[in-house]
Chain A
Amino acid sequence: MAHLFFGYFAGMIAITSVLVVALRNPVYSALSLLVMFFHVAGLYVTLHAEFLAAVQVIVYAGAILVLYLFVVMLLNVKRDDRYHSQWRIAAFICIPLSIEFLVLLSGDFGAAHREPASLPVEPLASDNTLAIGQTLFSTYLFPFEVASLILLVAMVGAIVLAKRDISENEAKNMNRVSGAQ
């Protein structure tokens, strides 16, 4: 039963991921990405990681992809072929990756020979959320804080980039208004 579910989710993830880059209409691409996010969440559920599944849907499907759709619709790019002919860059990235993949699969580096990394909690614990919280805030506290700092920096950077500079005239007007008050 578990294998059946895994096969379904993995197959759908593979198909929809290919569709994301293969479809010509960007809105359809975004939709197949949505289907893919749901199946990744389904994979998490089969691993008894309900919290991750919910976060996957809330963050990726609920927030990030909606913004993608937003941009796609505002730009209204219909069947734009500009981004479909970047073979050189694609090859440059994909060939080393696939070589690495083959080496990992064929060589002695496979995970089968190694001892699995010791997990601090049992993966099938009944309260998955509690386990994630405790691990995140004890063992991995420093990486967690670093990650949140990076996100904060990115947020500040985005605000600085998007902020409209106040021109001198406007600044003068503002000063005059505040001076009058």
Chain B
Amino acid sequence: MSEFGLRLAISLTQIAAVMGIVVVTVLLLTLAERKVLGWMQDRMGPMEVGPYGILQPFADAIKLFFKEDIIPAGANKFLFTLAPILCLIPAFIGFAVIPWGPNWTIEVGGITVKPFVISDINIGILYILAFASIGAYGIILGGWASNSKYSLLGGLRSAAQIISYELNVGLSIIGVIILTGSLSLVKITDAQAGWFWNWYLFALPAPQIFAFVVFVISSVAETNRVPFDLPEAESELVAGFFTEYSGLRFAFFFLAEYANMVLVSCVAAALFLGGWNAPYPGTILELLGAPSLAWVENIMWFAVKAYSFLFLFFWLRATLPRLRYDQLMKFGWKVMLPIALANIVVTSIAVFITQ
């Protein structure tokens, strides 16, 4: 029983660490987004709270905590309360299968622990897709339970959008799965070790460039970000599905959106850009005679890749106007889907010939 207790304690520590990192990243992102958008639009961004406004996220968090929590009179109280939670849990649960660093094992009190992998289940990527699809329920139910036409329209738009683009996300990663022969994110990342041309974005026999583009565009759509933010289009729907939400429940939706952004960035980095692998074989720290510190370099690379994606999200927001609803659907079904399907066929043929 003590071994079980130790195992449980280690797992809980890992979970707490990852949750902490994700929440801190989200806090950073809220500031970074406003700063980056500000600089791109030739203004300063938030400057009031703390030096250069770096304490702004804390001010925002405190404001949201102490705001009055309003439930509209005609709302369905049970679903109105449930929806933000249904949105938040799937956004955080997906991080369980992300490999943050090398697949090492260390001994702690007689049991082996993988410090950088919380759980290596052999359906890793399907697990993430499954929970990502559950996130749609929070949005739809939140829209419906608010008993407001803007919320309902936002929720329905989001449902259609998420279903359409989820399909493209699922199909675009099949090429990578064919190349690896495994659904486990740990194995997919391990298979991309070595020089950067071993990353699945460039790897022979079938570079997944098209799949990567489809994945990135579809994941922007799936996280409801500009230019696909129709569920919360402020010029048409006030604030979309969370129009009626305030205070902490609003913060939950907000947190879920940013956590989803972090999650898709991590998945994109792990699937297409080699995850924690450096663009060169091995690590520099290992060559310098500190192989026990090589994980620092690996995690740094993972962070660099993930943050580049997050920067891309801000960049798109500052650059592109919002799509119209029919354009969104047409683009998803008539452009993205055929490209993803063609990529599967081409990859399969290439793998079949070279094997």
Contact = CB atoms under 8 A, between A and B. Distances in A.
Interface of A: 27, 31, 34, 50-51, 53-55, 57-58, 61-63, 66-67, 69-70, 73-74, 126-129
Contacts of A31: 79, 141
A50 B163 CA distance: 23
B80 to A, nearest CB: 12
In the A-B complex, the 10 residue pairs with the closest CB atoms: A62-B133, A54-B126, A57-B130, A50-B123, A54-B123, A58-B130, A54-B130, A73-B144, A70-B159, A66-B159
B156 A73 contact: yes
A76 to B, nearest CB: 9
B137 A127 contact: no
Contacts of B41: none
Interface in B210-237: none
A102 B89 CA distance: 43
Interface of A is mostly: helix
Nearest to B135: A62
B118 interface: no
Contacts of B130: 54, 57-58, 61-62
A54 B122 contact: no
B134 A74 contact: no
B160 interface: yes
A105 to B, nearest CB: 35
Given A54-B126, A129-B122, A62 B152 contact: no
B261 to A, nearest CB: 19
Nearest to A64: B163
Interface of B is mostly: helix
A73 B152 contact: yes
B136 interface: yes
Most chain A beta carbons < 10 A, residue from B126, B132, B141: B126
A69 B137 CA distance: 9
A55 B130 CA distance: 8
B251 interface: no
Most chain B beta carbons < 10 A, residue from A34, A58, A74: A58
B122 A73 contact: no
Given A51-B123, A62-B133, 4 more contacts: A31-B79, A50-B122, A73-B144, A126-B122
B126 A51 contact: yes
A51 B122 CA distance: 9
A55 B79 CA distance: 26
B137 A66 contact: yes
Nearest to A127: B122
Nearest to A128: B122
Interface in B120-157: 121-123, 126-127, 129-134, 136-137, 140-141, 144, 152, 155-156
Most chain A beta carbons < 10 A, residue from B130, B140, B156, B166: B130
Contacts of B162: 66
B87 to A, nearest CB: 14
A63 B133 contact: yes
Contact of B126 (A58, A66, A73): A58
Contacts of B121: 50
Nearest to B181: A130
B347 to A, nearest CB: 16
9 contacts: A51-B183, A53-B123, A57-B131, A61-B133, A62-B134, A63-B166, A69-B141, A69-B144, A73-B140
A159 B175 CA distance: 28
Nearest to A126: B122
A45 to B, nearest CB: 10
Nearest to B166: A62
A55 B127 CA distance: 9
A55 B126 contact: yes
Contacts of B166: 62-63
A74 B149 CA distance: 11
A9 B136 CA distance: 24
Contact of B156 (A50, A74, A127, A129): A74
A94 B13 CA distance: 52
A66 B163 contact: yes
A127 B155 CA distance: 38
Contacts of A27: 76, 79, 141, 144
Contacts of B155: 73
A51 B76 CA distance: 36
A97 B335 CA distance: 47
Contacts of A129: 122-123, 183
Nearest to A25: B76
Nearest to B128: A54
Given A27-B144, A51-B123, A70 B133 contact: no
Contacts of A57: 130-131, 133-134
A27 B133 CA distance: 18
A6 to B, nearest CB: 20
